[in-house]
Amino acid sequence: MILSDSNRLTVHHPTLDSLGNAMSPETPSLPQTLQLPAILAALQNGALAALARGPRHTYPLHSTQINITLDPATDIFPTTTTAALSSAARLAVQAALKAASTEGDTVLMEPVMHVTISTDENSLGSVVHDISSARGGQVVSLGGDDDSDSRSSPPLGNRALAIDPKRIYAPPDPFAGSAGEADVAADVNGQRQVTARVPLKEMVGYLKHLRALTGGRGTFVMSVDRFELMGA
């Protein structure tokens, strides 16, 4: 069965069939108080608990194959409960993971975030340099607020009637400068978006640093993108 974080669990029960019945008269069957689906669920819960706290710094494990063998003759007793099976599975998986970690087959992974940063044109160069150089990130794309205008628009029947703001009269602002100055300011201070992949450890406290780079005008959002090998 497939677990979270690309982990996999396989439970072998060679003396039981898919319904939990003994495959041979010489082998014991499950007690009436325990059904095979309940046992499998208990073993899964125990394995998940062990995978959530790995042997290295109690970090959760990723892409791990767990094999559990269930033999009613040695593992199931008349007083056995699902809680006891879950606890036994957790302890067994923890011991196996600890033994495997000493063989050098495990590596540390770190989350890489998908980050979208909004900043003004003047601060764009500083933000890109900080992401790609100081923080070891990878810039995926650079865009502006008007990028969505270049996409194909749906047919008129499937969208609201478009309104051209230039055809709507608005009284002039007496406190604003000339039209030429306003256009220049809009071009200089236009918002740009930077999309990048950055290790999570480099994004801790990034908002304060971004505000310092952009004079308080920068913002960002991020989500988990992938896991990669942790750098030295």
Following DSSP, what letter does each residue of 7-63 receive, concatenated? Answer: -EEEEE-TTB-TTS-BSSTTS----TT--HHHHHHHHHHHHHHHHHS-TTTTPPP-S
**Which of 57, 147, 70, 144 is CA-nearest to residue 107?**
57
Alpha carbons 141 and 132: distance in angstroms, whole number: 12
pLDDT in tens, 105-128: 667 788 899 999 999 888 899 999
Which residue type sits at 49? A
How many C-alpha atoms does 184 have within 13 Å on its Cβ side? 6
54-62 mean pLDDT? 84
Alpha carbons 182 and 177: distance in angstroms, whole number: 7
* Choice among 62-76, 97-111, 127-141 with the minimum mean pLDDT: 97-111
**Tokens found for residue 46:** 């125990």
pLDDT in tens, 172-204: 555 544 444 444 444 445 788 999 999 999 999
What's the confidence (pLDDT) of residue 90? 95
What's the confidence (pLDDT) of residue 101? 82
What's the confidence (pLDDT) of residue 126? 92
What's the confidence (pLDDT) of residue 179? 47
pLDDT at 80 over 80: yes
Q: 169 pLDDT band (50/70/90 cuts)? A: low
45-50 mean pLDDT? 95
Domains located in the chain, CATH noted: 4-101 (no CATH), 107-148+185-232 (3.30.70.240)
Count of CB atoms situated within 10 Å of the CB of 202? 18
141-170 mean pLDDT? 51
**What is the dihedral sign for C-alpha 111, 114, 118, 122?**
positive
Higher-scoring residue by pLDDT: 167, 80: 80
Higher-scoring residue by pLDDT: 72, 160: 72
Ramachandran class of 58: left when φ > 0, alpha when ψ lies in -120 to 50, beta otherwise: left
CB under 8 Å to 134, separation ≥6 — which residues?
A: none
Q: 230 pLDDT band (50/70/90 cuts)? A: confident
Alpha carbons 23 and 28: distance in angstroms, whole number: 9
pLDDT at 155 over 60: no
**Tokens found for residue 22:** 């003994």
pLDDT at 102 over 70: yes
Mean pLDDT across the chain: 81
How many C-alpha atoms does 179 have within 13 Å on its Cβ side? 1
pTM above 0.85, yes or no: no
31-39 mean pLDDT? 91
pLDDT at 92 over 90: yes
* Choice among 84-98, 112-126, 132-146, 189-203 with the minimum mean pLDDT: 132-146
What's the confidence (pLDDT) of residue 159? 43
